[in-house]
Amino acid sequence: MKRFFEKFSIHFILIFVSLLSIFPFIWLISTSLKGAGENIFAYPPTIIPADFTWENYVGVWQKVDFIGYFINSMIVAGGTVLLNLILSAMAGYPLARMEFKGKKIAFFSVLSTIMIPFQAIMLPVYLITLKLHLVDSVNNFAGFVGLIMPFAVSAFGIFLMRQAFLGIPREMEEAAIVDGCSVWQLFIKVLLPMVKPSLAVLAIFTFIGSWGEFLWPSIVLTKESMYTLPVGVNNLQGMFSSNWRFIAAGSILSTIPILIFFLAMQRYFISGENEGAVKG
Amino acid sequence: MFKYYGKYAPYLFLLPAGIVLLIFFFIPFFQTFLLSFQDYSSSIYNPTWVGFENYFKLFQNPVFYKVLWNTFIYLFVAVPILAIFPLFIAILINQKIRGVTLYKILIYLPVIVSIVVAAIAFKWLYADQGILNFLVTSMGFESIGWLTDPKWALYSVILVTIWKGVGYYMIIYLAALMSVPKELYEACDIDGANFLTKHLTVTIPHIMPTIALVTTISAISAMKVFAEIYVMTKGGPLNSSKTIVYYIYERAFENLDLGYASAMAVVLLVIVMVFSLLNIFVFERNKYHL
């Protein structure tokens, strides 16, 4: 009996917390499905729309270029992931496996970047990006490069890859070298396939981080056609001032891709094996 | 082991990451200090060297103190809650019960959703005639200006940060809980210890390093909040919800006063570096083999 009561209260609390976690979205979905005939400020509020309609989704879809925002976000997140994988793996390898002059300096330089928050150095980063002409007023390609480059590599990624290379038995390298591999071949053909799990973790967490980035794109972007999803969604507020049905529908639409991604990859996020694998 | 790589190989492997870090981390880092000694407000193309003037102006500006104070309130409110509440949830999820994966997914959901969408969702909850005010008035209180009353705005924004962080720290705690020896709990059960004593005497002492880690990570991220404020209040009303990163953004990109904003960035840099150094040297030594 005591055990039953204990389990009951645990479920009760967890259901309550789960509801708190998703309620803001539920309420947003509810508002987005209410037609013009229904007062969205009605007291008492109703969760199930009385005047159910998809019209707000149709309306916001026609006025806002979600496909464009989605493609921009894919280009930026995809480019950021690709560069992070390449640069982190390349930098992590010598830090794990080679002896060379200045190794300690290289190691601590990378470590020191953990202490530098982007927000504190973003003004010079902006000036440098302007100087290098990596902005969308030059052309779209330059704009994308400018969005990606400040996040092309991180200390987190380099240390994650270094840790992965440290775990490979040295005999692998010896065997490959005896077989006549060059360092580069050894790295590409032998070592990289062995650190695939770490590369996957790095890719997934970099993708999520880049997908949600808001501060940097809202600083550098000038053209609406270059907007990523977060910037475009924020812009809904200005476009539809107080039309909360449209704002709600647009916000929900913009969330669908990342929601699918999360549900498909959920074990990476909630298994707890990749603890601390993120941002700050 | 024999050295199979050439003299230059290590440097060539490090080069690409090194170039990116140099251009987008190290040069900007030093340039932030340089900028803070210059005045851009009269002309953005011809800054003049003004020495410490930006700092003098900064430390005489009541808004700066207000912003610093707000940032520390953010820390003092958000950090303890984010260090304790997710631990409580993690302990509950760690019991042998059904539906654990579903709970984890639902509670983690706010973490992956864009902060902009989260802030919009809360702005809608906080609307003057919104659902939260319905709850408040139906309990017999006066409706609250969640985002329009200077007394409440900052706390309303903090709530969004907390709501979005719980799932993230819960997962970190869950990983830590796996390492607590099961025998200790069994011993507690034999002794007939209740839920509270069990976790106060076994769990908490065992995962103290993780609690410390969560405290520093959440403190650093509280220092860096921007999007919540940008989307919901723009720092208002009357600067009541303005924190340091938002103020840097405002001075730099709305007033184009890069020098002044950089002086503030230096202050932010110093605070975050203190937190990070604490984190690295006290809690994460092993991770980097220091």
Residues B188-207 have pLDDT tens digits of 878 877 878 888 888 888 88
Average pLDDT over residues A226-237: 94
Average pLDDT over residues A227-250: 91
Q: Quick one: pLDDT band at residue B289, thresholds 50, 70, 90?
A: low
- Poorest-pLDDT segment among A268-277, B72-81, B86-95, B103-112: A268-277
Beta-strand relationship, B48-49 and B38-39: antiparallel
What is the rounded CA–CA span in Å between residue A171 and residue B140?
74
Q: Do residues A99 and A155 both lie within one domain?
A: yes
**Nearest CA distance, B161 vs chain A (angstrom):** 12
What is the rounded CA–CA span in Å between residue B171 and residue A270?
6
Q: Which helix (H) or strand (E) holds B49?
A: strand B48-49
Choose among B209, B110, B182, B88: nearest CA to A276. Answer: B209
**Nearest CA distance, B201 vs chain A (angstrom):** 20
Q: Quick one: pLDDT band at residue B185, thresholds 50, 70, 90?
A: confident
Residue bearing the bigger pLDDT, A47 or B81: B81
Q: Quick one: pLDDT at residue A252? A: 95
Contact residues on chain B for A18, CB-CB shorter than 8 A:
102-103, 106-107
Choose among A160, A150, A91, A153: nearest CA to B12. Answer: A91
Interface test with B, best of A30, A47, A119, A262 (most B CBs within 10 A): A119
Is A7 part of any domain?
A: no
Rounded to two decimals, what is the model's pTM?
A: 0.90
Q: Which of A146-155, A232-241, B91-100, B138-147 has the highest mean pLDDT?
A: A146-155
Q: Do residues A31 and A134 both lie within one domain?
A: no
Choose among B32, B277, B12: nearest CA to A106. Answer: B12
Is A16 part of any domain?
A: no
Q: Which ipTM value was assigned to this complex? A: 0.90
CATH of the domain at A130: 1.10.3720.10
Inform me whether the pLDDT recorded for A280 exceeds 50: no
Q: Quick one: pLDDT at residue B250? A: 94
Q: Do residues A40 and A176 both lie within one domain?
A: no
Of B28, B99, B120, the CB nearest to A121: B28
Question: Cα dihedral sign for B222, B223, B227, B231?
Answer: positive
Would you say how long chain B is, in residues? 290
Is A259 part of any domain?
A: yes
Number of domains in chain A: 2
Average pLDDT score, chain A: 90
Question: Cα dihedral sign for A52, A56, A62, A68?
Answer: negative
Q: Do A121 and B266 touch (CB under 8 A)?
A: no
**Nearest CA distance, B104 vs chain A (angstrom):** 7
pLDDT digits (tens, 9 = 90+) for A86-109: 999 999 999 998 999 999 999 999
Q: Do residues A71 and A151 both lie within one domain?
A: yes
Strand partners, B131: none
Interface of B with A in 188-247 (CB under 8 A): 195, 213, 217, 220-221, 223-224, 226-227, 230-231, 245
Is A102 part of any domain?
A: yes
Q: Do A214 and B114 touch (CB under 8 A)?
A: yes
Is A12 part of any domain?
A: no
Residue at a domain's end among A53, A75, A94: A53
Q: Quick one: pLDDT band at residue A241, thresholds 50, 70, 90?
A: confident
Residue bearing the bigger pLDDT, B207 or A21: A21
Average pLDDT over residues A184-196: 91
**Nearest CA distance, B222 vs chain A (angstrom):** 9
Is A33 part of any domain?
A: yes
Q: Which CATH architecture has domain B48-288?
A: Orthogonal Bundle (1.10)
Cα-to-chain-centroid distance, residue B87: 17
Residue B56 corresponds to which tokens in the numbers above? 């003098």
- Residue A169: left (phi > 0), alpha (psi -120 to 50), or beta? beta
In angstroms, what CA-CA distances link A253 with A67, A257, B130, B163? 11, 8, 22, 21
| Residue in B with minimal Cα distance to A187 | B13
Is A84 part of any domain?
A: yes
Inform me whether the pLDDT recorded for A51 exceeds 90: no
Residue B286 corresponds to which tokens in the numbers above? 């092993």
Interchain contact B92–A (C-beta under 8 A): yes
Of B28, B106, B265, the CB nearest to A22: B106
| Residue in B with minimal Cα distance to A152 | B20
Q: Do B112 and A25 touch (CB under 8 A)?
A: no
Contact residues on chain B for A248, CB-CB shorter than 8 A:
120, 124
Q: Quick one: pLDDT band at residue A199, thresholds 50, 70, 90?
A: very high
Of B101, B171, B273, the CB nearest to A275: B171
Inform me whether the pLDDT recorded for B41 exceeds 90: no
Q: Which helix (H) or strand (E) holds B48?
A: strand B48-49
Q: Quick one: pLDDT band at residue A279, thresholds 50, 70, 90?
A: very low
**Nearest CA distance, A94 vs chain B (angstrom):** 5
Inform me whether the pLDDT recorded for A278 exceeds 50: no
Burial class of residue A69 in the structure, from the number of CB atoms within 10 Å of its CB (0-12 exposed, 13-18 middle, 19+ buried): buried
Q: Do residues A46 and A175 both lie within one domain?
A: no
Q: Do A247 and B120 touch (CB under 8 A)?
A: yes
**Quick check: helix, strand or coil at residue A76?**
helix
Cα-to-chain-centroid distance, residue B109: 18
Interface of B with A in 51-70 (CB under 8 A): none
Average pLDDT over residues A212-232: 94
Of B24, B105, B174, the CB nearest to A125: B24
Inform me whether the pLDDT recorded for B29 exceeds 90: yes
Residue B63 corresponds to which tokens in the numbers above? 């808004």
pLDDT digits (tens, 9 = 90+) for B162-184: 999 999 999 999 988 988 888 88
Contact residues on chain A for B23, CB-CB shorter than 8 A:
128, 149
Residue A45: give the domain boundaries.
23-53
Is A133 part of any domain?
A: yes
Inform me whether the pLDDT recorded for B290 exceeds 70: no
Of A153, A231, A266, the CB nearest to B21: A153
Inform me whether the pLDDT recorded for A242 exceeds 90: no
Q: Do residues A45 and A96 both lie within one domain?
A: no
**Quick check: helix, strand or coil at residue B39?**
strand
Of A98, A152, A219, the CB nearest to B10: A98
Average pLDDT score, chain B: 90
Q: Quick one: pLDDT band at residue B95, thresholds 50, 70, 90?
A: confident
Q: Do B226 and A45 touch (CB under 8 A)?
A: no
Question: Percent of chain B scored above 70 by pLDDT?
Answer: 97
Q: Do residues A37 and A140 both lie within one domain?
A: no
pLDDT digits (tens, 9 = 90+) for B197-241: 888 888 888 888 889 889 988 998 899 999 999 999 999 899 999
Q: Do residues A219 and A117 both lie within one domain?
A: yes
- Poorest-pLDDT segment among A54-68, A171-185, A239-253, B127-141: A171-185
Q: Do B262 and A123 touch (CB under 8 A)?
A: yes
Residue B40 corresponds to which tokens in the numbers above? 């851009």
Q: Quick one: pLDDT at residue A220? A: 94
Choose among A174, A235, A225, A167: nearest CA to A195. Answer: A167
Choose among B243, B231, B235: nearest CA to B272. Answer: B243
Q: Quick one: pLDDT at residue A208? A: 93
- Poorest-pLDDT segment among A63-67, A132-136, B96-100, B278-282: B278-282
Q: Quick one: pLDDT at residue A115? A: 84
Q: Do residues A154 and A30 both lie within one domain?
A: no
